[in-house]
């Protein structure tokens, strides 16, 4: 984490608060080069990367901070994640996609990824914030969005999409198998206990594909009755889909996920 003020004349000049001495461009370039290696993207112009790393507290004025980039990054994040979900989950309804999206684009998720990348090491903060031992999660979330916007402006939407595929796709999987899947299985469990005094169980019916990319077919069973099974890219996803199918059938509705 670097405490600094940014010069409007030369964005590669950083003022180190402890010494009060202006460091030349190579010092800032070294820091930015390490940041590039950390995030896996090389900028054509490091000026925009420096802007993305500059918090309002470390900028000469707010227009020189990363706030405008954060605004743009938030929109790019939402668009690309919606695109991912639309393509990856063709059987999910709008409500289901919205639930996953709300988890994936949340401030908590952005802060989590930012911390995992160690972006706090490259932040340009004012003296007041550098006295605290940790960077607030809100600042970490902001810098992730501003970094995304910087990559988009420097390399285009494809560069931004590739960056998000690397760091957001695992969060999509967690949200799909955890948040959404947990809800379906929990709902089926509650229904089974309330209506039948029974526990829902899940059984593997089939699997296909190579070892590195298998699909699994699971069925939910309640009170001795099995409902329409469902395929998933892993057993947890297949279980959540099977639970969703069972709930639909128990309510007299059409199962949402195909079994073939």
Active site residues: 74, 145
Torsion angles phi and psi, residue 21, rounded to 5: -105, 130
Measured CA angle at 25 (ends 22, 29), to 5 deg: 125
The contacts of residue 74 (CB under 8 Å, 6+ apart) are 145
CA distance 54 to 64: 8
CA distance 20 to 1: 17
Q: Which residue has the tokens 């080069």?
A: 33
How far is residue 240 from each of residues 10, 92, 106, 160, measured CA to CA in Å? 54, 12, 22, 31
Sign for the CA dihedral angle at 89, 95, 100, 106 comes to positive
Query: DSSP secondary-structure letter at 224?
Result: T
Q: Are 231 and 217 in contact (CB under 8 A)?
A: yes
Helices (H), the chain: 25-39, 46-52, 67-88, 94-104, 107-117, 127-130, 137-155, 157-167, 169-174, 181-196, 235-250
Query: DSSP secondary-structure letter at 24?
Result: P
């Amino acid at each position: 984490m670097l405490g600094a003020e940014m010069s409007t004349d030369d964005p590669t000049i950083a003022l180190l608060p402890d010494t009060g001495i202006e460091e030349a461009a190579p010092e800032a370039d070294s820091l930015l080069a390490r940041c590039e290696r950390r995030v896996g993207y090389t900028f054509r112009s490091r000026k925009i990367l420096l802007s993305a790393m500059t918090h309002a507290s470390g900028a000469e004025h707010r227009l020189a901070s990363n706030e405008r980039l954060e605004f743009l990054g938030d929109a790019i994040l939402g668009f690309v994640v919606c695109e991912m979900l639309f393509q990856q989950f063709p059987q999910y309804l709008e409500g289901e996609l919205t639930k996953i999206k709300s988890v994936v684009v949340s401030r908590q998720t952005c802060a989590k990824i930012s911390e995992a990348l160690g972006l706090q090491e490259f932040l340009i903060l004012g003296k007041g914030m550098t006295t605290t031992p940790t960077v607030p999660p809100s600042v970490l979330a902001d810098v992730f969005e501003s970094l995304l916007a910087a990559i988009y402006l420097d390399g285009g939407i494809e560069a931004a999409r590739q960056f998000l595929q690397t760091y957001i796709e695992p969060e999509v999987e967690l949200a799909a198998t955890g948040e959404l899947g947990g809800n379906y299985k929990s709902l089926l469990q509650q229904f089974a206990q309330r209506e039948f005094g029974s526990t829902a169980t899940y059984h593997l019916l089939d699997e296909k594909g190579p070892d590195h990319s298998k699909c699994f077919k699971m069925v939910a069973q309640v009170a001795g009755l099995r409902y329409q099974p469902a395929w998933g890219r892993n057993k947890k996803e297949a279980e959540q889909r099977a639970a969703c199918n069972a709930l639909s059938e128990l309510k007299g509705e059409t199962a949402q996920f195909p079994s073939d």
